[in-house]
A and B are shown apart, each in its own frame.
Chain A
Amino acid sequence: MLNYAIKRIALALLIIIVVMLAMYAMVFLLPGDPATLALGPRATPALKQELQIRMGLDQPVYVQIWNFFRNAVTGDLGYDVWSKRPVAEMILEVFPKTLFLGVVAIGGALVFGVALGCLAVVWRNTWIDRLLAILSVSMISIPSFVIAIYLLLIFAVWLGWLPAIGAGEAGDPWSQLRAVILPAFAIGITWVGYIARLVRAAMLEVMSANHIRTARAFGLPEHKVITRYALRLAIIPTISILAVGFGSILSSAVFVETVFSRPGIGTLITAAVQKRNFPVVMGTVLFMTAFYLLVVTSADLLMARLDPRVRDVFRG
């Protein structure tokens, strides 16, 4: 288990390093430099030089890369020349809001997805099952930002039930909760469909296993067979996919946060891309990549814990 964990983490770190090198390579292989790109056509040479020095661009490339890595390890993601604030501080300020959004979305998706998947299994091969299948595919394929805009129109503009913009008042959990509902729904619905499909397939496979027959042979009621015996096994592949789902949800957050003008990682990086503010983009990408890899790696390790058979494979 420990060996496996170390291997997984080493791979994640290696990937982060490769990604950062690739991004640096792109910046320096292209004509122009980040300072010129950021300032646009109006840049005067003096302004440009000043910015270059402030961004550390006057130093040799390898020094810059080394500095970036060294700083990143100590939690310093660089300095935003516009807002005159450390990038790490900007990210940490909005990250909890995106995290909250993501957790609510994936949590809701898990609850509804598992429920729909179980329903499809209970009613397998009936019209309910077929209807749920169509519903699941539709939920997977319709883009989250279209759903976000429709939700905004219906529940915020027409019905006025929920706020249209923002993330709620600081220190007021009720308003924060109200503000997270629509965006979380828009993001999570894709995963409701995906999880429902996954759970259905996994459940059907598990339901034909011998131990399910044993449970029935001892007179266990069907609902107990499904929830206690089948779901416990069927949920394992779902958990491993949820981590990937978390990455997907953070991606949809970029669109959905923009639709709801909700402060978060998505709105932060979108604004930075619009201004071609390279330090903020790079810092955010590094941070989110690291976070995503952390989630995926932990999910892998969690899965190994949940399934005693996997656990023993790694131990042995």
Chain B
Amino acid sequence: MSSVASLHSRSVWRTLAADPLGLMGATLVGLFVLMALFAPLLAPYDPLKIDVANKFAGASLKHLAGTDQLGRDLLSRIIYGARTALGISLLATGLAGAIGLLLGLIAGYGPRWLDAILVLCFDSVSSLPMIMFALAVITVLGPSVTTLVLVIVLISIPGYARFIRAQTLSLARSDFIMAERVMDASHLRIILRHLLPNVIGQLLIILSMDIPVVIMLEAGLSYLGFGVRPPTPSWGNILYDGYVSLRQSPFMVVAAGMPLVLATLGFTFLGEALRDAFDPRLQLKVLK
């Protein structure tokens, strides 16, 4: 509850700045965001331009991170990969958060029978091994970016919805909402004026803590060939290209893995620092 008020407070940012890991995370995240926003300006080459004569080039002044099996500049591909990774994870977590919020409010505030059905659905999806569910959906719909986003949204919704439902249930029993009820306030008013502002701060922190997991899912599924399809650069398929050419050019796989390591670390450190500053009770999620 306090998290909303404190979202605006300066002291929280000071707490964050005092935490060296959080600061490091914020810096890394900032770099990746800049990379994604200004990819065309930052990338030295066209990420799709093939130059077979120059394939598997090591790091040099011309190609700071070398080139891949088709002679494409790896740094440019990695920079555009940030666009893919952040774009997909922000879109997917945003959508999942919005739908989760809606379903959670409905379950928590709506009629009992609807709540029971929704909870059963949430529990069914969240009690599946995530990847198994993802692969099943991909098989049905066929691999594509749309499917990837849909899969991530589907597997993320139950967690958010259950969280919002729990918060809504406890809030709905609180005195000030009881008082509103007695005053004959409309349900919409109660939801908009009281429930929403109270739950949205915590939801945002949970979403930020889930971003590294989503980045990893996008990369992992793209690595397997079920996500972003080549030639569009994604950290996952760049890594796969490196893996396939491991014996020709081990450097490529090392370079391709780094942005994934740094981005997941950066987002996790930042998420943890935000969590510690706003709401220490929330838990770090592990891919299931």
Q: Which A residues lie at the B interface, using CB under 8 A?
A: 11-12, 14-15, 18-19, 22-23, 26-27, 30, 37, 134, 137-138, 140-143, 145-146, 149-150, 152-153, 157-158, 190-191, 194, 197, 244-245, 247-248, 250-252, 254-255, 258-259, 269-270, 272-274, 276-278, 281-282, 284-285, 288-289, 292-293, 296
Task: Please indicate the chain B residues that have their CB under 8 angstroms from the CB of A247 in the complex.
Answer: 129-130, 288
Task: Please indicate the chain B residues that have their CB under 8 angstroms from the CB of A259 in the complex.
Answer: 243
Beta-carbon nearest neighbor of B271 in chain A: A141
From B69-77, B88-96, B139-147, B174-182, the one touching the partner chain is B139-147
**Which among B129, B239, B246 has the greatest number of chain A C-beta atoms within 10 A?**
B129
Which listed residue, B133, B219, B225, B268, touches A141 by the CB 8 Å rule?
B268
B254 at the interface (CB under 8 A from A): yes
- Determine the distance from Cα of A244 to Cα of B159 in the docked complex, in whole angstroms: 14
Beta-carbon nearest neighbor of B21 in chain A: A134
B160 at the interface (CB under 8 A from A): no
Asked if A157 contacts B246 (CB within 8 A), the reply is yes
Number of A-B residue pairs with CB-CB distance less than 8 Å in the complex they form: 146
From B33-41, B44-52, B162-170, B259-267, the one touching the partner chain is B259-267
Asked if B120 contacts A18 (CB within 8 A), the reply is yes
Asked if B284 contacts A288 (CB within 8 A), the reply is no
Which listed residue, A23, A152, A251, A292, touches B136 by the CB 8 Å rule?
A23
Smallest CB-CB A-B distances: 5 pairs: A141-B268, A251-B131, A143-B216, A18-B124, A141-B264
Asked if A145 contacts B132 (CB within 8 A), the reply is no
Beta-carbon nearest neighbor of B137 in chain A: A26
B30 at the interface (CB under 8 A from A): no
A247-B288, A248-B288 are known contacts. Are A293 and B224 too (CB-CB below 8 A)? no
A137-B269, A146-B239, A272-B139 are known contacts. Are A296 and B127 too (CB-CB below 8 A)? yes
Beta-carbon nearest neighbor of A272 in chain B: B139
Task: Please indicate the chain B residues that have their CB under 8 angstroms from the CB of A273 in the complex.
Answer: 135, 138-139, 143, 226
Which listed residue, A22, A278, A288, touches B129 by the CB 8 Å rule?
A288
**Which among B132, B267, B268 has the greatest number of chain A C-beta atoms within 10 A?**
B132
- Determine the distance from Cα of A142 to Cα of B261 in the docked complex, in whole angstroms: 5
A-facing residues in B212-250 (Cβ within 8 Å) = 212, 216, 219-220, 223-226, 239, 242-243, 246-247, 250
Task: Please indicate the chain A residues that have their CB under 8 angstroms from the CB of B242 in the complex.
Answer: 149
A-facing residues in B85-136 (Cβ within 8 Å) = 120-121, 123-125, 127-133, 135-136
Question: Beyond A14-B120, A145-B220, A254-B131: 4 further Cβ-contacts under 8 Å?
Answer: A141-B264, A141-B265, A255-B220, A285-B132
- Determine the distance from Cα of A150 to Cα of B286 in the docked complex, in whole angstroms: 21
Task: Please indicate the chain B residues that have their CB under 8 angstroms from the CB of A150 in the complex.
Answer: 253-254, 257
> Nearest Cβ in chain B — how far from A196, in angstroms?
12
> Nearest Cβ in chain B — how far from A78, in angstroms?
14
> Nearest Cβ in chain B — how far from A255, in angstroms?
5
Asked if B139 contacts A276 (CB within 8 A), the reply is yes
B272 at the interface (CB under 8 A from A): yes
Task: Please indicate the chain B residues that have their CB under 8 angstroms from the CB of A250 in the complex.
Answer: 129, 131-132
Question: From DSSP, what is the main secondary structure of chain A's interface residues?
Answer: helix
Task: Please indicate the chain B residues that have their CB under 8 angstroms from the CB of A251 in the complex.
Answer: 129-132, 287-288
Asked if A30 contacts B253 (CB within 8 A), the reply is no
Asked if B257 contacts A146 (CB within 8 A), the reply is yes
Which listed residue, B131, B140, B225, B253, touches A153 by the CB 8 Å rule?
B253
19 contacts between A and B (CB under 8 A): A12-B127, A19-B124, A19-B125, A141-B212, A141-B265, A142-B264, A143-B264, A145-B223, A149-B239, A157-B247, A191-B286, A247-B130, A248-B286, A251-B131, A254-B131, A269-B135, A273-B135, A285-B132, A292-B127
- Determine the distance from Cα of A315 to Cα of B25 in the docked complex, in whole angstroms: 48
Beta-carbon nearest neighbor of A153 in chain B: B250
Asked if A258 contacts B224 (CB within 8 A), the reply is yes
A150-B257, A157-B250, A273-B138 are known contacts. Are A18 and B121 too (CB-CB below 8 A)? yes
Task: Please indicate the chain A residues that have their CB under 8 angstroms from the CB of B133 in the complex.
Answer: 285
Asked if A149 contacts B253 (CB within 8 A), the reply is yes
Task: Please indicate the chain B residues that have their CB under 8 angstroms from the CB of A27 in the complex.
Answer: 140
Asked if B264 contacts A255 (CB within 8 A), the reply is no
Residue-wise, chain B 177-191 has the 8 Å CB interface mask toward A (1 for contact) of: 000000000000000
Task: Please indicate the chain B residues that have their CB under 8 angstroms from the CB of A254 in the complex.
Answer: 131, 135, 224
Task: Please indicate the chain B residues that have their CB under 8 angstroms from the CB of A137 in the complex.
Answer: 21, 265, 268-269, 272, 284
- Determine the distance from Cα of A271 to Cα of B79 in the docked complex, in whole angstroms: 30
Asked if B288 contacts A289 (CB within 8 A), the reply is no
Beta-carbon nearest neighbor of B272 in chain A: A137
- Determine the distance from Cα of A140 to Cα of B247 in the docked complex, in whole angstroms: 29
Asked if B260 contacts A146 (CB within 8 A), the reply is yes
> Nearest Cβ in chain B — how far from A192, in angstroms?
12
**Which among B124, B136, B246, B257 has the greatest number of chain A C-beta atoms within 10 A?**
B136
> Nearest Cβ in chain B — how far from A199, in angstroms?
15
